[in-house]
Structure 1
Amino acid sequence: MTFEEALAVFVGRHVEVLQPNQFIQGTLVSSSGGILAVDTVSTNYIPTTQRVNISTGSVALVRILPQ
């Protein structure tokens, strides 16, 4: 099982994604082809809600939040 396949089980869940240079919170929309798509929540880092595509190679940690 690949990293993307493991995360695909959690599509629709709230997640926190940590990269070396940023922290992203939102809802996991998809996980395939080496890309995670997350609909972000508004934070100080990203002032408006938007979809962010994240390369799995740059991900240090993904935390799946309780529902």
Structure 2
Amino acid sequence: MNFLEALNTFVGRMTEVVQPGQFLQGRLISASNGLVTVQLVSSNYIPTTQEVTAISDNITFVRILP
């Protein structure tokens, strides 16, 4: 099992994804084909929900929230 296969078992859970210079927090939508998609939580900085796709090679840390 590789990183994306393991991450794909947590689809639908709240996650934190860290890349150099970027922090994403939201619901994990998918993890496959070298891409990780997260639906960001809305906040004062982001008034509506948005889906962001990150290249898995650029990800330095992922935390699955309870």
Question: Would you say same fold, with TM above 0.5?
Answer: yes
Instruction: State the secondary structure of the residue aligned to 2:38.
Output: strand
Mapped to 1, the partners of 2:43 and 2:62 lie a distance apart of 18
What is the match of residue 21 of structure 2?
Answer: 21
Matches within 5 A, 1:37-56: 37-43=37-43, 47=46, 48-56=48-56
What is the match of residue 31 of structure 2?
Answer: 31
Distance 1:10 1:32, change over 3 A: same
Identical columns (%): 52
Mapped to 2, the partners of 1:53 and 1:19 lie a distance apart of 12
- How many correspondences in the alignment? 65
Structure 1: 5+ residue runs without aligned partners? none
1:4-49 residue CA offsets vs partner (Å, 9 max, x unmatched): 00001000000000111110000001010000011001246x5131
1:46-66 residue CA offsets vs partner (Å, 9 max, x unmatched): 513100011001101000000
Give the alignment's Cα RMSD to 1 decimal: 1.2
Query: Alpha-carbon deviation of 1:2?
Result: 1.0
- Regions of 4+ moved over 6 Å: none
Give the structure-2-normalised TM-score. 0.91
